[in-house]
Amino acid sequence: MSQPVRPMDMLALVLAVNAWGTEPRRARGEHEAPLPSPRDVTADPLLLHEPVARLVDLADAAYPAFTGPDDEGRAAVVTTLLERSGVRPALLSDGGLRSGWVVPAADRRPLAAAALALWLQLGAGPGERLGTCADHACGDAYVDASPAGRRRFCSVTCQNRARAAAFRHRRRTG
């Protein structure tokens, strides 16, 4: 029986990608550390009861949408996620008729929710609003909500670390 699904909150998706994604963990030097529990990372009810191995798969599948070199590549990633999840539009009846999304099985709901979140985010504007941290010691994903759309770092900490390293490099090279 079809299972209804809603798009995941983008913040929850970014947290999931950064917590369980293989590439972000490797860039931060955490690839040998134990994976965090869902309860330590997110309050998203869709992810709380998922096995960590499935969360790693979801994060690794979604990460290329943040690293894609252009809109065409990002669109291909999201389209593949939508196809893999089996999500499709449906007319739902829950006290009234409304449009929504369904998947063929409950275990596909997290992937479908992530794919729908990316689909909505990328369809709302340029794909440059998704990115990964420019700090060489970090590979975390982010969503740029700044008015100018020029964000390059996942956090102020990474931005400060990169600026300090650039300053030290300039002082050494004269």
pLDDT in tens, the chain (174 residues): 899 999 999 999 999 999 999 999 999 999 899 999 999 998 899 999 999 999 999 999 999 999 988 889 999 999 999 999 999 999 998 888 999 999 999 999 999 999 999 999 998 766 568 999 999 889 999 999 888 888 999 999 999 999 998 899 899 987
For 104-116, b where at least 16 C-beta lie within 10 A, e where not — what string? eeeebbbbbbbbb
C-alpha 157/C-alpha 160 separation (Å) is 5
Which amino acid, 28?
R
Question: β-pairing, 97-103 with 141-143?
Answer: unpaired
pLDDT at 109: 97
Domain locations in the chain as residue ranges = 3-173
Reported pTM = 0.90
CATH of 3-173, one of 3.40.190.10, 2.102.10.10, 3.40.50.300, 1.10.3300.10: 1.10.3300.10
Q: Please, how many CA atoms are within 13 Å of residue 144, restricted to the half-sphere of its CB?
A: 20
pLDDT at 41: 92
C-alpha 24/C-alpha 56 separation (Å) is 11
pLDDT at 95: 84
pLDDT at 38: 93
Q: Taking the CB of residue 137, how many other CB atoms lie within 10 A of it?
A: 12
Question: β-pairing, 130-132 with 141-143?
Answer: antiparallel
pLDDT at 94: 81
